[in-house]
Amino acid sequence: MTNESVPFAAGTSVDWRHSARCRDEDPEALFVQGAQQRDAREVCKACPVRTECLAHALDNRIRFGVWGGMTERERRALLKRRPDVISWAALLESARRAALASPPANPAAPARTRRAGRPGEPAAGTQPARRTEGDRRHAG
């Protein structure tokens, strides 16, 4: 990495690299191939500037290494799927703001069951089916 400031989010300039988890890592550990990329990506998982790092790599078409938790192959595929994006920094910042502004998703409501007729009885459909005399004869 270099030490220049990188434009991010609506023309502001923030040198996010000072907060990167990889700032003290050996660069050789981040520019690897194959299975070693998994280890490099682990460094990114809890990084506070992961989004800024990814935006920098996408906006500058950086071809090598793991940036923002994505390999070069993953970034290439993303760039190919979204050739219309002019500024990844702006797009990712906008997505982050939208995610922070929206309320957390509600978990799916549990399926409703018909209540039992008498107190203390389990709800309908919660007991295993009973075998009938005919079932026993055919079970052999």
* Closest CA relative to residue 93, chosen from 135, 60, 51, 61: 51
Domain assignment present for residue 102? The answer is: no
Domain assignment present for residue 78? The answer is: yes
Mean pLDDT of 100-129: 61
Domain assignment present for residue 120? The answer is: no
Mean pLDDT of 59-72: 93
| Residue 72, domain extent | 9-97
Q: What pLDDT does residue 25 have?
A: 86
Domain assignment present for residue 89? The answer is: yes
List the structure tokens of 105: 């998703």
Q: Is the pLDDT of residue 96 over 90?
A: no
Q: What pLDDT does residue 109 have?
A: 58
Domain assignment present for residue 2? The answer is: no
Q: Annotation-wise, does 49 bind a ligand?
A: no
List the structure tokens of 84: 């219309």
Domain assignment present for residue 62? The answer is: yes
At 21-47, the pLDDT tens digits run: 988 888 888 888 888 888 889 989 999
Residue 85 sits at φ, ψ, to 5 deg, of -75, 125
Place of tokens 């219309």: 84
Give the list of residues 6+ apart from residue 137 with CB closer than 8 angstroms, or none: none
* Closest CA relative to residue 16, chosen from 92, 128, 81: 92
Q: Count CA within 13 A, CB hemisphere, residue 57.
A: 24
- Give how many domains the chain has, as a whole number: 1
Q: Annotation-wise, does 47 bind a ligand?
A: yes
Domain assignment present for residue 79? The answer is: yes
Domain assignment present for residue 17? The answer is: yes
Q: Annotation-wise, does 53 bind a ligand?
A: yes
Q: Is the pLDDT of residue 120 over 70?
A: no
17 or 4, which is more confident:
17
